[in-house]
A = this chain, B = another copy of it.
Amino acid sequence: MTNDIKIAVVGLGQIGIYLLNELNIKKKDIELKTGKKIKVVAVSARNISKKRRFKINKKIFFKNPLDIFKETKIDILFEAIGLSDGISKKVVETALKNKIHVITPNKALISKHGDLLAKLAENNNVNLEFEASVAGGIPILRTIKEGLSTNKISKVYGILNGTSNYILSEMRNSKDSFSNVLKKAQKLGYAEPGNPKLDLNGFDAFAKVRILSSLAFNTLISKHKCLMEGIEKIELKDIEIANQLNLRIKLLGISEIINGSLFETVHPCLVSKNSYIGNVSGVMNAVILEGKPVGESILQGEGAGPGPTSSSLLSDLLSILKGNVKKPFGIPHIKRKSIKCYNVNNYTNSLYLRFEVKDKPGVLSKITNRLAKYKISVKRLIQTPDKKNNKATIVIITHKTNELNSKNCLSIFKKDKDILNYPTLIRMYN
């Protein structure tokens, strides 16, 4: 690598434009730390004249990012479009094939095509860095790949979606409904204005879990989906009941090796109000690693937004500029193994079940009998009448049972006219 480094930034949304400004501001600092002079020689976006927070140099603008490779020489490309396929994949592939280092915060792309792209990067002896794809400003990937590199990691879990964590925290604080708090989150820029679905249904957190797993356990990215649930079905009522029980609801992503199989999940969990994870609020992300010999490590930081994301993108840049050519997943692609998926039917938890029922005799015993039939024992039961509407809310905390058993047990309530909704189920975090 020469001392003059030519950079392209593709995608000028919130993150791309913030990054462009940071590259400009930090030029001197980067030269001090690496001895390299960086210069942005190409930018690309769909719309040249869109109103943006920072100005762009229109002389280096490309409407079609693929033209950059034909018309300019570049050393490093930032991909900030954010699609899992299409032009994002095309741009990254083309860059790697042209021996151009790639840096991206795109978790959708990496969690879907990371194996293929890593192989391509290795074959062309360039870096593919994606620190910003998981947990914003927390350097969690680098910590697994380097800081804890010789530890045997057995579990990694945490709060990986800032949007969901903000909504759950804010519902609790403001006692407002899911839909109102979502609107507020959109206004504040914490949730996508157009389609926030991928944050709310657990998909975003699941993509991050997949990336974390493959780094922590040296495996290929899994294609299975053990269990993925988002926060869409959480009602204010659940949050308030949890509060009375000294619990909080958190969307956790969990990855763990159980008897040689990979267990990956994202779902809302009930955690103790006094636990560490129960106190990570707002848009904060937190990742907890269990490893040997290091013990338990915790990393917490802002999980979203252009500031934290830029921090990670620039750390990737510095790593490349320092000449640290690295395997994208820490070890050679060929040594990464596929791993079988844990049978989710065996996943075992205490459950929180909320039934909304008609307030009439026999309903409660119908529920408890059904639970008894499946040997699901009740640890706690709270029935609250709603006389006005001739309804009642029954909350049951069960002892531990597995997924298959609880699914079979609860299935009957789909058809029962006395049960007004299919029961809300939230797992207790062990």
Using a CB–CB cutoff of 8 Å, the interface residues on chain A facing chain B are 18, 22, 26, 29-30, 32-33, 131, 137-139, 142-143, 146-151, 276, 279, 286, 291-302, 306-308, 310-312, 314-315, 317-319, 322-324, 326, 330-332, 335
B150 touches A22 (CB 8 A): yes
A314 touches B150 (CB 8 A): yes
A146 touches B319 (CB 8 A): yes
**Which B residue's beta carbon lies closest to that of A275?**
B279
Find chain B residues with CB under 8 A from A294 CB: 137, 301-302, 307-308, 311
B302 touches A32 (CB 8 A): no
CB distance from A151 to the nearest CB of B (A): 5
**Which B residue's beta carbon lies closest to that of A303?**
B295
Find chain B residues with CB under 8 A from A326 CB: 322
> Given A33-B330, A298-B301, A302-B296, do A146 and B137 touch, yes or no (CB 8 Å)?
no
B314 touches A33 (CB 8 A): no
* Identical copies of this chain, number: 2
A293 touches B22 (CB 8 A): yes
**CB < 8 Å: which of B138, B147, B293 contacts A307?**
B293
**CB < 8 Å: which of B33, B150, B298, B322 contacts A315?**
B150
Find chain B residues with CB under 8 A from A142 CB: 142-143, 146-147
B279 touches A307 (CB 8 A): no
> Given A143-B143, A315-B150, A324-B322, do A295 and B291 touch, yes or no (CB 8 Å)?
no
B146 touches A139 (CB 8 A): yes
Find chain B residues with CB under 8 A from A314 CB: 149-150
Find chain B residues with CB under 8 A from A33 CB: 149-150, 330-331
